[in-house]
Amino acid sequence: MIGYFRSLLLSRLFSLVLLFLAIRMPLVFWGMPLTLPELKSMVLGERMADGYLLYRDIFDSEAPLAAGIFWLIDLLAGRSLLVYRVLPIILLFLQAIRLNSIFNRHNVHSERTFIPALLYLVGGSVFFELDTLTPLLLGMTFVVFSLNYLISFSKEGENNRQLFKAGFILGLGALCYLPLVLFLIVAFFAIILFASSSLRSSLLLLCGFIFPYSLVLTYYLYTNTLTNFFDFHLFPNWNFQVDFLLEPLAVFKILLLPLLFLVISVAYNIANAPGLNYQVKILQLMLIWLPVAIATAIIGKKISTEALLLLLPALAYFGTAFFLHFRKALVREVFFLIFLVGIMLLRYSPFLGLAPLLKINTPNLFISSDPKYQAIQNKSFLVLNRDLNYYIHNTVTTPYLNWEIAQRDFKKLDTYQAVYQIYRHIAPNYPDYIVADPKLMRELQYKIPTAFSNYKPVANNQQLFERVK
């Protein structure tokens, strides 16, 4: 099969599309449950579509461009799970085809082929979590597109427009997922490797990166939200507190196959470096990509299988070089067949009865099926913990969407400023229900009786309080 995709005939592209759809589409129609990150994105987009401004009326750390896309989806389709599942398929395919086009156009490898797109699409289908629309997926689309301008200026020397475009597109990627700002390191190393004037070229790249941020900062300055933009989005992300959507061992089991393939390919490419000077420099650039991608995954607040998205361009590059230069055709075909079959088994493990064998648990990934979350629908909620399942059939009516940010007020009830801020944000629209620890609720009722005295506990749920009018 790998030999079939070495050609650039149109029939190979058509076959690639069919193979990708055959891998990805069955899970869309079989109806994989909604994930908690998807639910949060839907709630955020819904709140913004109601006319509320991120960081001012909605307290969340989401990147502004990603939040804007969720807002646009809600305007056009509401809480459509189909849109949230089909759009990632389109984005991943665009990334793969664009990366393949970049490699072929700039002669990154010794042959022009569809193998980079093949490896990108197959590797990006290893687990159904990669089928979800996430800020990282949105941001990686811009990172992949920026690579074209970096390689282009690398070949042609100093080029003002190319460098500015590369920085601008990387800036858009960071506006989707802030840790992607680290890919500026890759861009700066490209300048060191190829540009004739490193300082001037670096400044051009940096100006391009800063430009979209300057527009965002100006907008939030005029909407009196600049301080919250820094406090909620820019500063909290730079920490090493990691939340696992999947258990660390489960993440390791799922990513073991593609990472093992990547390690083998990297080792082969280092041992068999290309002869052309330009291709050697591209190899060096992609070697730099690997630690940057790992660091980006670490500084993100959540680590899950979607971290593989950061490594897919490197996997496509090193894997393609391996399959093009390894001499024994039979070994190449068997190696790719093992890779493809392994990816398919991991992807469809829940339907093939392999999930218990692999012991992959997903309690923190999917929404809960507990009946208590289905009992109340079409009501407004204030959830004062990390349990977003209450928003499955309900809406948020206060700015406090993110519990980590909300704790800045609710953990400081001994200060007048926190008490005043809570009352000011809740009084305009009292939620129908509040989910909170009973001890916290008693303190709120004691210190802010005007806002919380009308809430009574609901039977059989100690953390749920209903507003009695």
For 137-155, the DSSP string reads HHHHHHHHHHHHHHHHHHH
Task: Tell which residue, 133, 25, 139, has the closest CA to residue 79.
Answer: 133
Residues 6+ apart with CB under 8 A from 62: 41, 44, 54, 70, 135, 233
Confidence (pLDDT) at 460: 81
Q: Average pLDDT, stretch 94-109?
A: 93
Euclidean distance between CA atoms 8 and 5, whole angstroms: 7
Confidence (pLDDT) at 234: 86
Task: Tell which residue, 91, 99, 111, has the closest CA to residue 145.
Answer: 99
Q: Is the pLDDT of residue 103 over 80?
A: yes
What proportion of the chain, given as a percentage, has pLDDT over 70? 94
Summarize pLDDT for 352-380 with one digit per residue, the tens: 766 666 777 766 788 888 888 988 999 99
Confidence (pLDDT) at 133: 94
pLDDT band at 330 (very low <50, low <70, confident <90, very high): confident
Asked if 431 and 394 count as a contact pair (C-beta separation under 8 A), the reply is no
Euclidean distance between CA atoms 321 and 115, whole angstroms: 9
Summarize pLDDT for 225-256 with one digit per residue, the tens: 999 999 998 886 555 556 677 778 888 888 99
Q: Which two tokens stand for residue 414?
A: 């001994």
pLDDT band at 391 (very low <50, low <70, confident <90, very high): very high
Confidence (pLDDT) at 369: 85
| Helix or strand (DSSP H, E) at 439 | helix 438-447
Q: What is the pTM of this model?
A: 0.93
Confidence (pLDDT) at 441: 93
Q: Which two tokens stand for residue 115?
A: 């193998």
Burial of 377 (0-12, 13-18, 19+ CB in 10 A): exposed
Q: Is the pLDDT of residue 158 over 50?
A: no
Confidence (pLDDT) at 156: 45
Euclidean distance between CA atoms 427 and 397, whole angstroms: 11
Euclidean distance between CA atoms 114 and 8, whole angstroms: 6
Q: Is the pLDDT of residue 286 over 90?
A: yes
pLDDT band at 194 (very low <50, low <70, confident <90, very high): confident
Q: Is the pLDDT of residue 114 over 70?
A: yes
Task: Tell which residue, 258, 27, 30, 235, has the closest CA to residue 122.
Answer: 258
3-state secondary structure of 58: strand
Q: Which residues of 77-99 are buried (b: 16+ CB within 10 A; e: fewer)?
A: eebebebbbbbbbebbbebbbbb
Residues 6+ apart with CB under 8 A from 274: 110, 280, 283, 321
Per-domain boundaries in the chain = 4-358, 371-467
CA 258 to chain centre: 18
Asked if 442 and 416 count as a contact pair (C-beta separation under 8 A), the reply is no
DSSP at 442: H
Task: Please name the amino acid found at residue 286.
Answer: M
Choice between 43 and 274, residue whose per-residue pLDDT is larger:
43
Q: Is the pLDDT of residue 153 over 70?
A: no
Using the Cα atoms of residue 413, residue 415, residue 418 and residue 420 in order, give the sign of their dihedral: positive
pLDDT band at 146 (very low <50, low <70, confident <90, very high): very high
Confidence (pLDDT) at 10: 87
Confidence (pLDDT) at 355: 64
Q: Is the pLDDT of residue 411 over 50?
A: yes
**Residue 31 Ramachandran class (φ > 0 left, ψ -120 to 50 alpha, else beta):** left
What average pLDDT does the chain have? 88
Euclidean distance between CA atoms 384 and 7, whole angstroms: 56
Cα separations in angstroms, 307 against 20, 176, 251, 258, 283: 20, 15, 10, 12, 22
Task: Tell which residue, 147, 185, 432, 381, has the closest CA to residue 288.
Answer: 185
Confidence (pLDDT) at 237: 52
Confidence (pLDDT) at 197: 64
List the single range of 177-181, 248-252, 271-275 with lowest mean pLDDT. 271-275
pLDDT band at 5 (very low <50, low <70, confident <90, very high): confident
Task: Please name the amino acid found at residue 276.
Answer: L
Confidence (pLDDT) at 157: 45
Residue that the structure tokens 């039979």 belong to:
330
Summarize pLDDT for 44-63 with one digit per residue, the tens: 999 999 999 999 999 999 99
Instruction: Determine the longest span between alpha carbons in the chain, in angstroms.
Output: 78
CA 109 to chain centre: 29
First-residue to last-residue Cα distance in the chain:
68
List the single range of 7-16, 110-119, 130-139, 244-253 with lowest mean pLDDT. 244-253
pLDDT band at 119 (very low <50, low <70, confident <90, very high): very high
Confidence (pLDDT) at 160: 64
Confidence (pLDDT) at 155: 47
Q: Average pLDDT, stretch 206-227?
A: 94
Cα separations in angstroms, 112 against 5, 103, 116, 272, 321: 10, 8, 10, 19, 11
